[in-house]
Structure 1
Amino acid sequence: MRPELAHIDAWLFDLDNTLYPESAKLFAQIDRRIGAYVARTLKLDPLEAHRVQKDWFISHGTTLAGLMAEHGVDPHDYLADVHDIEMDVLEENAPLAAAIAKLPGRKLVFTNGDAPYAQKVLGRLGLAESFEAIHDVHASNYVPKPHPHAYRSVCEAWNIDPTKAAFVEDMARNLAPAKAIGMTTIWVDNGSEQAPDADRSYIDYITHDICHWLEATLEEQ
C-alpha cells in the first residue's frame, strides 16, 4: 500500500453508485419508486412529489428521513417498496472482488439503504463474501449520512478508529463528516446525483472507477 495509506486498518464502502457504476442505472429505478411512494403517500401529483423528494434529500439526507420526520412513515414499509426492483443490470465484478480482498484490514459496507437490499446487490456483483458486515440505516437508528450520528454509529458499532479508516463514497457531501472525524476520504465521481455543494476540500482522493483506483493503489506497494 502506498505509504500515506499504510495506517488504514478499516475500509468503509458506500453501496449504490460506488460498488457498481452509476451508468448501470440501478439507483435510477429506486429513485423513480421513491417518487411514486411520495406521490402515493402524500397524495401529490408526480411533479410536486419529485420536488418534495429532492427537497428532503437535500435537507434530511434521504427522502426516508423526511417522510419519517414529517409524516411518521414506517421505514420497513418504505424500504421494502423502493427496493423492489430488477437487478439484472448488475454484473459480477471479479476484478473488484479481487482488489477488495487484497486490501489490508477490515472491510465493511456503510449504506443509507438496508441490509437485505445490500446483500442482493453484493450477490449480483460477486461481493457477497467481500465484507465483514453491512452497517445500514437500521443500524444507524434511521439517521442517515451525512448526519454526524451515522458516522459515530458505524465507528462505535464496529470498534473503528476513524483516524485509521478510509471511506469510499459517490456522494461528495457524505465525505465531509467522515473527514471531520479523521477518516481518509475517497470520492467516486462517476456522474451520480450530487447535492448542491461546491466545497471539495474534504476529499483526499478522487476516482471515476473504484476498481481501477484500488488496483493502482495496491500496485504501489
Structure 2
Amino acid sequence: MAFDPARVDTWIFDLDYTLYPVAARVFEQIDQRMGLFIEGLLGCDHAEARRIQKMYFHDHGTTLAGLMHYHAIDPHEFLGFVHDIDMAALDEAPRLEEKLLALPGRRLIFTNGDAPYASKVLDKLGIANCFEGMWDIHAMEYRPKPEPSAYAGMIAALGVEPERAVFVEDSARNLSPAKALGMQTVWLDLGTDWGDRAKDDAAIDLVIDDIGQWLDACLAELAPPSQSLP
C-alpha cells in the first residue's frame, strides 16, 4: 500500500537520527557512554563492554533493557549517565519547525530514550513546540520498541487511532509492530549499519532518505487545489 497523507491525523516520529541528521553524531556520544557504564558496572575492558552492549541492544531492543534483565540496574541512573553529553553539534531547525507545524493533526514523539533527554534535543533543535505528546522508555515500562506493548501502551494512553496515524522511524525493525496495528509506516533510510536490521518490506509503506523533502511532498499533496481566477 502506498503512503496516503490524507488518511493521517496523528504524525508519530522517532527522535534520534529521525529529527536530526546522522552527521550531528549525537548518538555516538551516548554509545560511548554506554560502554563506559558497562565497563564500570562489570569491571571489564572496552572490547568486552562493547560486545555486551551490542548483544543486549540486538537481543533486547535497547542496551538498557538487557542491563535491566541481566543486572537489575537502576534505569534512571543509567539514562542520566549516558545522556550526559554535549549537544553543541545540534543546530536549530527553523525550516523543519515550519514544516512540522504545517502538518494537520497531532504530532507525537515515540522514543526509546527518556523524556528529559528528548526534551533537551527538541529544545536545541527549536522544535519542542511542534509536539503535543511523547511516549518514552519510562512510559513503556522499559519494554522498548519493537516490543508490541510499547505501541499498545502509546495508543491507549495518547488516544491514537492507528488507522489514522503514520509512524516515521530510521530503524526499520521498529516499523513492523506499528504496521501490524494498522498504522501507515515511513522508513527513513539513512544508510546506517543498523537501519535495515530485521527489515520487513511488507511492513513499510514508504522509504525516504530526507525527512524535509518528505514533509514538503506531504504538504504539497495535502494543499487545497488552487482556484483559477474567473
Relative to the length of structure 1, the TM-score reads 0.96
**SS of equivalent residue, structure 1 residue 19:** coil
Q: Show the counterpart of 1:208.
A: 209
Note the C-alpha offset of 1:3. 8.6
Q: How do 1:107-126 and structure 2 match up within 5 A?
A: 107-126=107-126
Q: In the TM superposition, what is the alpha-carbon distance from 1:115 to its structure 2 partner?
A: 0.5
Is the CA contact 1:173–1:197 (under 8 Å) kept in the aligned structure 2? yes
RMSD across aligned positions (CA): 1.5
Matched, 1:137 2:137: yes
Query: Is the contact between residue 21 and residue 209 of structure 1 (CA under 8 Å) also seen in structure 2?
Result: no
Unpaired segments ≥5 residues, structure 1: none
Aligned to 2:49: 49
Contact 2:3 2:206 in 1 (8 A): no
Q: Provide the C-alpha distance between the structure 1 equivalents of 2:203 and 2:15, rounded to a whole number of angstroms.
A: 20
Q: Could you report, residue by residue, the CA deviation over 1:117-152 in whole angstroms, capped at 9, with x for unpaired residues?
A: 101100111101010012110111111000000000
SS of the residue 2:185 aligns to = strand
1:22, 1:191 within 8 Å by CA — same for their partners in 2? no
> Partners in 1 of 2:4 and 2:177 — Cα distance?
21
Please tell me whether the aligned partners of residues 169 and 187 of structure 1 are also in contact (alpha carbons under 8 angstroms): yes
Q: Do the aligned partners of 1:17 and 1:192 also contact (CA within 8 Å) in 2?
A: no
The 10-residue stretch of structure 1 (36-45 or 192-201) with the greater mean CA deviation from structure 2: 192-201
- Aligned equivalents of 1:44 and 1:200: distance in 2? 39
| Alignment of structure 1 residues 33-72 onto 2, 5 Å | 33-72=33-72
Alignment of 1:71-150 (within 5 A): 71-150=71-150
Cα–Cα, structure 1 residues 217 and 201, in superposed 2: closer, same or farther, change >3 Å? same
Partner of 2:226: none
In structure 2, the CA distance between the partners of 1:130 and 1:48, relative to structure 1 (3 Å rule), is same
| Distance in structure 1 (CA, Å) of the matches to 2:59 and 2:156 | 25
Q: What do residues 157-194 of structure 1 show as CA deviations (whole Å, max 9, x unaligned)?
A: 10111111100111110011111111111111113341
C-alpha displacement of 1:197 = 2.1
Structure showing greater Rg: 2
Task: Tell me the residue number matched to 2:219.
Answer: 218
Residue type at the aligned position of 2:150? A
Q: Is the 8 A contact 2:169 2:187 kept in 1?
A: yes
Counterpart of 1:197, as a letter, is: A
The worse-fitting range, judged by mean Cα deviation, of 191-200 and 97-106 is 191-200
Aligned residues: 220
**Unpaired segments ≥5 residues, structure 2:** 223-230
**Is the Cα contact below 8 Å between 2:35 and 2:49 reproduced in 1?**
yes
Q: Give the Cα–Cα distance (whole angstroms) in 2 for the partners of residues 196 and 107 of structure 1.
A: 26
Paired residue type of 1:83:
H
Cα distance in 2 for partners of 1:214, 1:200 equals: 22
Give the structure-2-normalised TM-score: 0.92
* CA distance in 1: counterparts of 2:92 and 2:62, whole angstroms: 28
SS at match of 2:108: strand
Query: What is the rounded CA distance, in whole Å, between the counterparts of 1:51 and 1:14 in structure 2?
Result: 26
Q: Which runs of 4+ in 1 moved over 4 A?
A: none
